[in-house]
Amino acid sequence: MENLLIPGLFMSVLLSGLLLTKRDKRCADYVLSTFLAISALTLVLAYLEIYNRDHGYIFPFFINLSPPFVLLLGPALWLYVKCLTIPDFSINRRHLLLLIPFVTVFVLFLFNDYIKPDASRIDMDSHEGFKKGYMFPLVMGLIAISNIGYTIWGLLMIKSYREKMKSFYSGSRHLELRWLRFLLMFSLIAYSVISALYAVDSALHLMPFNTIQAIGYSIASTFIIIIGFFGLKQGDLFSSVPVAYKEIEVETKITLAGVSKPDQEFVALLLKYMKEKKPYLNPELSLETLSNCLKVNAEYLSGVLNGSLNMNFYDFVNHYRIEEFKSLCKDPAKRKLTIIALAMDSGFNSKATFNRVFKKNTGLTPSEYFSKVSIN
C-alpha cells in the first residue's frame, strides 16, 4: 500500500522544482514551493515508516519521523494565502512563531522516542505501545487542529479579500481566486477525512496503525496529485501576483439626509456621468479610474458610494450594467444576440458573475427576464 505514496511524492517534487525555475519569482512562489517540498518530505518519511514495518524494521532510524513535519503544512498553506491576498506581503521574524508546534512536537519525540535504543523503539512501534501514552492523542490532536484550523483561516481570508476587492473593482477577474479556493477546499476535505480516520480508529481500534497511516498518507498523496493536475491544467499554479489595492477608510454610517450640499452636487454629477458616458461598459473599470474621470480622489468617491448611496463600488457599477442589459433586451435590433453576448455588451466579463448579480438584483435569472421581455 505504501506504493500509493510514490505518485504524490514525485508530483510534489516536480511542482516544487517548476516553481523554483519560474522567472520573476515572488513570495507566493517560494512559499508554495516550500509547502510542496514539505509535502514531499512527509511522504518520503511516511513511506519509509510503512516500509519499515512491512520489512522487519530494516531502517529503525526512520520510526516516527514524519509526524512533526506534518505540523508545517498548515502554516505554509496559510502563508501562501497571505502572499496572494495581501499586496507587498513579506515574511518576517514574527512568522517564526508558526514553527512553535513543530518544534514542540519534535522535542517531545526527541526525548520520548528518538534517543532511545533501536530495540526499544522497534518494540514500542511493533506493539503499538505509543497509543497508550499521552503523546499519540496529543500529536494527532495538534495535527488536526493545525491543518484544519489554518485551512479554515485561509478560506476566511479569501472571503475578506473578495469583499474588499468589491470596493475597488467592478469586474470579477480580481475577485475569483478560484485556484486558491479550490486548493483550500480540497485540503480541508482531505485533512478532515484523515483526522476523522485517526479519531475513529483511536476510539474503536478498527485496524492496525500501519494500515491507518498508509490510508492517511495515500489521501494526502492523492490531494497533491489532484491539485498539481488542476494547477498545471489551468495555469493558475504559476499566477502569484496579488491585486494591488490601497486601504481606504470609509464612513459607512452617513445617510443621504445628512449629506452636505457639496456631496449632494457630486452625487448628481456622478449619476449624470454614469448615465451619459457609460464608463461601466469597460469590464475593467476600477475605483481609481472612475475617480480620475470625475477629478476627485478615490477615498472621496468610495466614501460617497458607501455613505450616500449605501453601495460598494462593485454593486454600484453592476447596477448600471444590469440596467444596460435590460435596455439591450428591449432593443429589437439586439434580439438576435445571445444572452451572454448582451451581458458582455453591458460591461460584464464573466458569465457566472453576470448570472449571480442579475439574480441577486432582480430575483429572476437572465433567461427568465429575457423571455418575459420577449413576450411583452
The predicted-structure confidence for 259-277, as pLDDT tens digits, reads as follows 456 677 888 888 888 889 9
Among residues 23, 33, 42, the alpha carbon closest in space to that of 76 is found at 33
* Size (the chain), residues: 376
Among residues 155, 154, 151, 141, the alpha carbon closest in space to that of 190 is found at 151
Report whether 96 contacts 167 (CB < 8 A).
Answer: no
Report whether 217 contacts 225 (CB < 8 A).
Answer: no
Residue 205 lies inside a defined structural domain of this protein: yes
pLDDT digits 0-9 by tens, 120-133: 999 988 888 888 87
Residue 310 lies inside a defined structural domain of this protein: yes
Query: Do 175 and 97 share a domain, yes or no?
Result: yes
Query: Do 178 and 261 share a domain, yes or no?
Result: no
Reading the block at residue 103, the C-alpha cell is: 518544534
Lowest mean pLDDT among 16-25, 104-113, 183-192, 216-225: 16-25
- Please provide the DSSP assignment of 68-92 as one string: HHHTTHHHHHHHHHHHHHSTT----
Query: Do 210 and 263 share a domain, yes or no?
Result: no
- Please provide the DSSP assignment of 81-146 as one string: HHHHHSTT----GGGGGGGHHHHHHHHHHIIIIITS-HHHHHHHHHTTGGGGSSHHHHHHHHHHHH
> Which of the four pLDDT bands, split at 50, 70 and 90, describes residue 167?
low
Query: Do 204 and 342 share a domain, yes or no?
Result: no
d(CA 25, CA 235): 15
Residue 250 lies inside a defined structural domain of this protein: no
Query: Do 149 and 220 share a domain, yes or no?
Result: yes
Residue 248 lies inside a defined structural domain of this protein: no
Q: What pairs with residue 169 in β-bridges?
A: 286
Residues with Cβ < 8 Å from 4, sequence gap 6 or more?
Answer: 214, 217, 218, 221, 222
Among residues 190, 207, 211, the alpha carbon closest in space to that of 73 is found at 190
Query: Do 172 and 286 share a domain, yes or no?
Result: no
Residue 120 lies inside a defined structural domain of this protein: yes
Query: Do 354 and 283 share a domain, yes or no?
Result: yes
CATH number of the domain to which 70 belongs: 1.20.1070.10
Task: List phi, psi (to 5°) of 54.
Answer: -80, -15
Query: Do 364 and 314 share a domain, yes or no?
Result: yes
Reading the block at residue 71, the C-alpha cell is: 505540523
Return the DSSP state at 176.
-
Of 238, 268, 302, which closes a domain? 238
d(CA 66, CA 43): 8
CATH number of the domain to which 260 belongs: 1.10.10.60
Query: Do 79 and 186 share a domain, yes or no?
Result: yes
Assign residue 89 a region (left: φ > 0; alpha: ψ between -120 and 50; beta: otherwise).
beta
d(CA 295, CA 110): 65
Of 205, 238, 271, which closes a domain? 238
Residue 247 lies inside a defined structural domain of this protein: no
Query: Do 200 and 133 share a domain, yes or no?
Result: yes
Query: Do 277 and 225 share a domain, yes or no?
Result: no
> Which of the four pLDDT bands, split at 50, 70 and 90, describes residue 99?
very high
Reading the block at residue 155, the C-alpha cell is: 478560506
Among residues 225, 73, 49, the alpha carbon closest in space to that of 144 is found at 73
pLDDT score recorded for residue 249: 36
Of 180, 210, 238, which closes a domain? 238
Residue numbers of the domain that contains 148: 2-238
Q: What pairs with residue 171 in β-bridges?
A: none
What is the end-to-end Cα distance of the chain in Å, rounded?
65
Return the DSSP state at 263.
H
Report whether pLDDT(166) > 70: no
Residue 243 lies inside a defined structural domain of this protein: no
> Which of the four pLDDT bands, split at 50, 70 and 90, describes residue 312?
confident
> Which of the four pLDDT bands, split at 50, 70 and 90, describes residue 234?
low
Residue 245 lies inside a defined structural domain of this protein: no
Query: Do 109 and 37 share a domain, yes or no?
Result: yes
Number of domains in the chain: 2
Lowest mean pLDDT among 2-11, 92-101, 107-116: 2-11
